[in-house]
Structures are given as structure tokens and as C-alpha cells.
Chain A
Amino acid sequence: MIPLFDGKEMELNRVYITGDSSEYTISTLRFYLSNFRVFNSKGNIVEMPNVYLFDLEDTSTFELFKLSDEIIALEFLLGTDSITNVSGILDGPLDPIHGMYWTWNSGYINFKIEGQSNRSSVQSKSFEYHIGGYLSPYCTSRKIDLTIIPSHEDIVINLHIDRWLKSLKIEQSASVMIPGKAAFQLSDELVSFFELGHGK
């Protein structure tokens, strides 16, 4: 899993200036990936029980898992499923210590991005999107399917952060911190910026 900015691996706290002279600095990027189903060329499906917490601050979270099969497709959830959200206290990547849990409205923050941009209209120029919520009609986890051409290279999933940020209306709303319609729409848009990348 590698987040990209302008096609290159993104770095934390670096000032990026895009073609339209927008500036972006990302100070936090963290999100959950779960319910992986891996389809191999023999026609089998391998289900991965783990939940992965990707954290831009911790490169050890970039590698998700190893399989020796020839993989032809991947399916996974961006975020956590609703059972996870109602199961009480959980360990590992789901430990609320990671700052990905709301305590006043129980549930996981599926995707968290914080940073600064000259497009933000708040005084500190900051923006923060905490996307979560597992209850209908505003469930924010999203299924992602990727078809893969088998090769000997590692499979890389990219998230094109710059393109996503460009599509956001940061000027109008620099902060979403609660479950609801806004979070729901953000996650709808977000999924299209996950793509299959090229081996490292």
C-alpha cells in the first residue's frame, strides 16, 4: 500500500505545490483496510482475517501480507465492517490507542487525513477529515475490487492523494469529524482514487 502525490511516494510534512498553485502538507494519514479476499489463478479464494491500519508515519504498515499464490484479483474493504464497530473493546490495529476511535459516538474512524493547505478558509489553513460511521444510511466503509495481471512483481495498491485533494471542496468545508452525510459522500469519492500500482 503506497500513497502517491503527483505519482511519487508521498512524504509526511512535506510542502507540495501542485500545477494550480495549491499547497498541501499532510501531517496525518491513517486508514483501515480489512476483509481482504484474494483470488488466485487456480480459481481459489483466500480470505484474510486481519484488519490493517495503514499509517503514513510508520513504514512497517505499508506491507500488508505475503502470499505465494499467483493472484488475479483482490477485493477488500476500505474501513472496518459494522460487526467490528459493535464488538466492544478490541486489540492490535483496532486498539483505540491509535486515535482511530470515537468515544462519544462509538465506532472507528475509517480514514483520517489532517494537514494544511492554502485552499482552506480557516485561519490556521488546516484541514481535517475524519471519515467514519457504520450505521445506515451513512455507512462509510467501501468495497474495492482490483483486477490484477499476474506477474512476479509485488502487488502495489496506490492511493492518489493529490487527485483526491484536488477534487475536494476544501474551501467550503475544511473539517468533517462526525459520521453523517458529509462523511458518506467523502468515502464515495475516495474509493475511486485507489488503484493498482506498479511493482516497486
Chain B
Amino acid sequence: MANKIFLIILSLGSLILWSFKQIGEPTIIEFQVPKKWPKPHYDFFKNPLTQEGFELGRKLFYDPILSRDSTISCASCHLQYTGFTHVDHKVSHGIDGRKGTRNSLVLINLAWNKSFHWDGGVNHIEVQGLNPIQHQVEMDNTIEEVIKRLQKSNLYLELFERAFGNKEITTTRVMKALTQFNLSLVSSNSKYDQVMRKEKGVTFSQQEKNGLILFRKNCALCHTEPLFTNTFFASNGLPIDTLLKDYGRYNITHHSKDSLVFKIPTLRNIEYTFPYMHDGRFKKLKEVLTFYSEGINKKAINLHPKLQKTMVINENQKKDLIAFLHTLSDKEFLFDKRYSFPK
């Protein structure tokens, strides 16, 4: 008799436990568009940001389970402290130490990008993640295998349930979760932003002011405020790398007008995202400026008209420009715990 009572209590106990574990609706996060910024390109209506979706995406982003031999995660090439790019590697290094052909891109303010990769070959952020997962020199895996592995993990089953309402794990859900994390990487609290918002006690030094003027005159047509990219493509006259022979956007469109044309990258957090350019050929900002003022081959095909006239910037002005570029560093973003390895 006593035994029986015990049993009943037990099952009651587990019932209560179970009802505590009932999973509610995911919590919607409103995507914050910084004041005076343009409208994001991404349509959040189809994939609303939620706390649970973001957390799942973050977990996936930092999990080497996505790669064939479970050694490489997205973060291997996209490190938070360096603006989510690969620090100090000219071209990215992936699985088995294999080298890619391009410098890893920063993951900053992606919600405003219209296309992805240096050549714009990826037309939507939701499909971007398929590329590194299946790329032979990056993660060298298949999406089928990724889904199989995730389905074996009780933790992931629960995270998918929280984010999407049930335990089903599909390509769409994996990609949407990664997308939510990527879209959340918004950097808008650099010194530049604070000065523009006229925050109390924050002002540009004289050198930074000079730099801003030079920047607006020489650079802003392409690296347009406030995103520091106009989200288009251009040739800035970099001579072709003789080893990699990367023709950029031409590889996608096969139009001769796109030969040696590349994505115009954002310059936010540029202090930390070295090396620079699609092949990482410059280590220092000073080298970049020397290239723009002295290194451009005016006969380069498809050279953007803006750069056909020599840019006159002397040594002091280079320092001013660099001082200004450093005001685009956003420490809060680079160290924001919400974006770091999930504990």
C-alpha cells in the first residue's frame, strides 16, 4: 500500500516538472535601427528576431560541430575582438590548415548589406551560411550531416524547440537562426557615432576633425556614412594579385565591366580588422593610404572615376585620416558579452 502511494506522488512530481518545462512563445526582439540610419535591407517580417532564435544562432556560430572534423566554427574566421574577421591572416585558414583565397570579411551591420562576399556572389544573408559549411577549405561538411549531428543532441533539440516551437531541425531553421545572430551584430556606438549624436562630453580632436574633412572629400563617396559603405561594388585600382588572380565580381556576372571590381567594405572598426583588402595585402592603414595617394594605376581597367584623379594627401594628412578612422572603433561592440562565446 505504502508503495503505491509513493508511486502516485512520484508521477505527480514528474507531471509538475513537465509542466514547468513547457515551452512558451519565443520572445520577440525589436531590431533597433540607430537614429538617422537608413532602413535595413533585410526583411525582418519573414524571420522575426527572437531571443531564442538569436541564442540558438549564437550557439551554432561558436560550435565546431558545423565542420567535418569538428575543429572549425564560424568564429574561427570571424573573431569578435577584431570586428568578426580573421586577424592577421591574409587569406582565411580553414579545415586541415587549408588556405582560402580571400581575406575573411567583417560581420558588422549585415542587415544593411544587399549582397554578400567580396564578389557579391551570395544574394541573401539566409543562404550565406551554406557556403562556409560546404566549402572545401572552410568547414568541408554537408548540411545533411550538420542536421544529423544536431538531431542527436538533446541540447540542440531543446534550443530548436524554444526558437521555433518544436524539435524539428531543418536547413531553413539552422540558416534562420544563424541569420538572426549575424543580423544582430550592429556596431553603432563608436566615438564617431557619439559625436554625431552630440553626446555630452564627446568631441573630436582637431586632428580627427581634419581627418573627417579629408575623409568626406576623398573616401565618403564609396565608404559612405553612417555605414561607411554605400553597399555597392567598385574597383579601387588594386593591381591584380598575380598568384590568386581574383577577378572579383566578374567571376559572378561575367561582365567585363565587373573585372577586378569588389565589394566596398565598411570601415567601421577598421583599426582592428587588419590585414586589409580582399586578399589582405596591406597590414597597416598607413599602407592603405599610401596606396590610395600614390599606388593607384590610373590605367587600371574599370577604375572608379572618383579615383582617376590623383588623391593628394601628405604625411600629416595621412595621420589626420588615420586618427579619424580610429574614431570608428566601437569597443562596446567588440566586447559585447551578448555576441561572445555562449557560456
Contacts and interface: CB of A to CB of B under 8 A. Distances in A.
A101 B143 CA distance: 12
A85 interface: yes
Given A97-B147, A97-B171, A105-B252, A88 B134 contact: no
B21 interface: no
A58 B254 CA distance: 35
Interface in A33-91: 85-91
Interface stretch (B117-125, B266-274, B325-333): B117-125
A86 B123 contact: yes
A151 interface: no
Dominant SS at the B interface?
A: helix
B55 interface: no
Contacts of A88: 46-47, 124-127, 175
B172 A86 contact: no
Contacts of A197: none
A101 B127 contact: yes
Dominant SS at the A interface?
A: loop
A17 interface: no
A90 B172 contact: yes
B143 A89 contact: no
Interface string B142-163: 0110010000000000000000
A85 B179 CA distance: 18
Contacts of A86: 123-124
Contact of B172 (A95, A106, A107, A135): A95
Given A85-B123, A88-B125, A97-B143, A104 B131 contact: yes
Interface string A162-200: 000000000000000000110000000000000000000
Interface residues of A, number: 20
B170 interface: yes
B172 A91 contact: yes
A89 B121 contact: no
A87 to B, nearest CB: 7
B308 interface: no
A180 B255 CA distance: 10
Contacts of B131: 103-104
Contacts of A103: 122, 127, 130-131, 134-135
Contacts of A104: 117, 121-122, 131, 135
A155 B127 CA distance: 36
A180 B250 CA distance: 12
Contact of B121 (A90, A106, A181): A106
Nearest to A90: B172
Given A95-B170, A96-B171, A135 B253 contact: yes
Contacts of A138: 254
A96 B130 contact: yes
Contact of B127 (A89, A97, A180): A89
B121 A96 contact: no
Given A95-B172, A97-B144, A97-B147, A89 B126 contact: yes
A107 B79 CA distance: 29
A96 B143 contact: yes
Interface string B200-226: 000000000000000000000000000
Nearest to A138: B254
Contact of A89 (B135, B176, B251, B252): B176
The residue among B117, B121, B179 with the most chain A CB atoms within 10 A of its own CB is B121
Interface in B237-287: 251-254
A97 B176 CA distance: 15
A106 B175 CA distance: 14
A104 B129 CA distance: 10
Contacts of A87: 124
Contacts of B126: 88-89
A106 B253 contact: no
Interface in B35-53: 46-47
Contacts of A106: 121-124, 127
Contacts of A89: 124, 126-127, 171-172, 175-176, 179
A180 B130 contact: no
Nearest to A91: B172
A105 B121 contact: yes
Interface string B169-197: 01110011001000000000000000000
A181 B127 CA distance: 25
The residue among A87, A90, A105 with the most chain B CB atoms within 10 A of its own CB is A105
Given A89-B176, A104-B135, A105-B251, 10 more contacts: A86-B123, A89-B127, A89-B171, A90-B172, A95-B170, A95-B172, A97-B147, A103-B122, A104-B117, A106-B124
12 contacts: A88-B124, A88-B127, A89-B172, A89-B179, A90-B172, A95-B171, A103-B134, A105-B252, A106-B127, A135-B253, A180-B254, A181-B254
